[in-house]
Each structure stands twice: as structure tokens, then as C-alpha cells.
Amino acid sequence: MITKEMVNKLNQQLNLEFFSANLYLQMSAWCNHKGLKGANLFFKKQSMAEMNHMYRMFDYLNDMSMMPVVGSIEAPSVCFLSLTELITHAYEHEQTITYKINNLVHSAITLQDYSTFHFLQWYIAEQREEEQIFKSIIDKLTIVNVDTNGLFLIDQDLKNMSNVNIIDH
């Protein structure tokens, strides 16, 4: 039995996943605008992955005979000073999402909702992976000289990373 409290919390997360999808879609547009075609592709794929995160939650609520509720989604940032600032923003966003998922897991345990607890395990692993991905990009940006060819190399690298099928994630 899933409680109303848990349903509300899952719906909040569902909308946060929507926001993540919009944030990364907007980031892909910024990258494209700056001529960073690889980064554009990478963030477009990330946006699709976030939609999948949202759909998983949507389907779980339906499966539990509860109503998923799509609310109004806050508009994401449009302007960034550099690719480094953008990636750092994305990394910090993922850290926030991890915190939110952890809170959901805590609520599921506290409410003795072990079905939801089990459902959320996938998100725990996913957050670990996503944080690692963004941290690895930040590390690479620190190593290269972004004022010269470094930015080109990073963009190529992001293009290669976007070829990995992350839609199922």
C-alpha cells in the first residue's frame, strides 16, 4: 500500500525529472549556438534520458493505481559563461537530484513502503553513474587548455560519449 504522502513525493520527483530534461535540452541549444556540436548531441541525449526517468516514475504511479500529476515546470537557465560553467551547473544539478532521491528512499523506508523502496534502487545506481559522468567531464576540462584546441577535443569527446545508448538509462 502506497501512502498519499509517498505519492506526493514521487510526483514532485516526476516533475523534477521533467525539469532536468528541459534543463539539458536548453543546454544542448546553448552548446549548438556556440558551435559545440558534440556537446549539443551529448546534452540532447541526456535530455532524452531524463524523460525516461520521468516516464519510469509516471508508469510506477500508474501501476500502483495512483495518479501521476504533471505540474508547471520552472524554466531552466538559458545563458552560461562557458562550457565549464555549464558542465559544473549540470554536475551540481545531479548532486541535488541525488540528494532528492536519497530523501525519497529515506521516506520509503520510514513509511515501510518496500515496493517504492525497491523501485527507487534503479535511481540510486543511475545517480551514481550520472554524477560520475559529469565529474569526469569537469576533470577533463581541468586538464586541457580550453583557450586553444582543448575545447575542440572536449567537444569531440562529448560527441563520442553521446554515441553510447543512454536512452534506456
Residue ranges in contact with ligand FEO by CB under 6 A = 17, 20, 50, 53, 94, 97, 130
Least Å distance, CB 155 to ligand FEO, is: 21
Shorter beta-carbon distance to ligand FEO: residue 97 or 154: 97
In the block, cell 529515506 appears at 106
Least Å distance, CB 163 to ligand FEO, is: 19
Least Å distance, CB 98 to ligand FEO, is: 8
Shorter beta-carbon distance to ligand FEO: residue 32 or 95: 95
Q: Looking only at Cα atoms, what is the longest distance across the chain?
A: 58
Q: How far apart are CA 157 and CA 122, in angstroms?
A: 27
Contact yes or no for 82/27 (Cβ under 8 A)? no
How is residue 80 written as a grid cell? 552560461
Shorter beta-carbon distance to ligand FEO: residue 101 or 108: 101
Identify the CA nearest to 17 among candidates 132, 126, 106, 142: 126
Shorter beta-carbon distance to ligand FEO: residue 156 or 167: 167
Contact yes or no for 166/45 (Cβ under 8 A)? yes
Least Å distance, CB 64 to ligand FEO, is: 20
Shorter beta-carbon distance to ligand FEO: residue 17 or 155: 17
Coil, helix or strand at residue 58: helix
Coil, helix or strand at residue 164: coil
Least Å distance, CB 149 to ligand FEO, is: 30
